[in-house]
Amino acid sequence: MYRPTLCYTVSDKVKNMNSRFIELKTVSNIRDLGTMTNTEGKTVKPKALIRSALLNKADQNDLNCLISEYGLRTVIDLRTTRERNDRPEILPDTVEYLPLPVFDDDKLGISDFNFALEKGLPVMDMLYKLIVSNPSSQERFHAILNTILEYDYDKGSILWHCTEGKDRCGLVAALVEHILGISEEDIYEDYLLTNVVNGPKAEMIKEKELARGRSEEYAEGVKNVFLAKEEYLRAALDTIKEKHGSLDAYLIDTVGLDEEKIRSFRERILE
């Protein structure tokens, strides 16, 4: 069975990770969707679809690894304009950079976003519902997913990311995996793998908040922002099903994907 190439010596921690993780020193929560198997028994082509956290601190060794070992040729940045300006990414000329935010600062809808806040923190299931329901985000999903569907995988792999590689990145991954016929059980499994990386980080952040004198409730809320939880993704997928009947109807009728492009993508990516 295919295993992703590891670019550095494998640590004991990494040995216990799911095999789809790529070990890099300066890029977090990065994994190859290759080897995921769909409900028809077909497998996702390795070194084609990669998801990750942000790349703004990626060093030359890690970039060289992604380019040489994984054939990285295109990066889709799902972050907002403000996030990109605050933490810009500088990639080699051989890598195409596409800023395609899932939502932007002026499009999310401030009143709606405030509805998804509690004590200054995002209520993540509400935020997920908002993203998949927002007309602007639906338009952005069209651009993002069309780019992935139309991509020439003979020339290399495509990577999409947000900040933590969890929420926006996770929603795009879930939709791509559904298009490929991956079962919902496996979609959730892939989504929750983020906690292998973010679990310890979230605990540390909670402890820092407690050390600052924050309440247990608030510190736990901050911790939860950095975790992937099944109820977050389920809130988005259930909202789609309730409003549109199915994920397929959402993708075709609302997001506006072309069924022929979907068939072609599946033929090129599934083995």
In the predicted structure, residue 15 carries a pLDDT above the cut 70: no
Counted domains in the chain: 1
pLDDT grade for 142, boundaries at 50, 70 and 90? very high
Domain-embedded: residue 146: yes
Residue with tokens 């996030």: 83
> Would you state the structure tokens that stand for residue 188, as one six-digit string?
């959730």
CATH code: domain of residue 23: 3.90.190.10
- Average pLDDT for 11-31: 74
pLDDT grade for 118, boundaries at 50, 70 and 90? low
Domain-embedded: residue 24: yes
- Average pLDDT for 33-55: 96
Kindly report which listed range (12-21, 58-67, 144-153, 198-207) carries the lowest average pLDDT score: 12-21
pLDDT recorded at residue 7: 55
Q: How far is CA 270 from the centre of its chain?
A: 20
In the predicted structure, residue 249 carries a pLDDT above the cut 60: yes
What percent of the chain is predicted at pLDDT more than 90?
Answer: 77
Domain-embedded: residue 124: no
State the Cα–Cα distance between residues 151 and 268, nearest whole angstrom.
Answer: 10
Domain-embedded: residue 244: no
- Average pLDDT for 58-82: 96
- Average pLDDT for 145-151: 98
Domain-embedded: residue 138: yes
- Average pLDDT for 199-220: 92
pLDDT grade for 105, boundaries at 50, 70 and 90? low
Domain hosting 77: range is 12-104+134-182+258-269
Q: Where are the beta strands (DSSP E) in 12-166?
A: 31-32, 49-52, 72-77, 96-99, 117-118, 121-122, 157-161
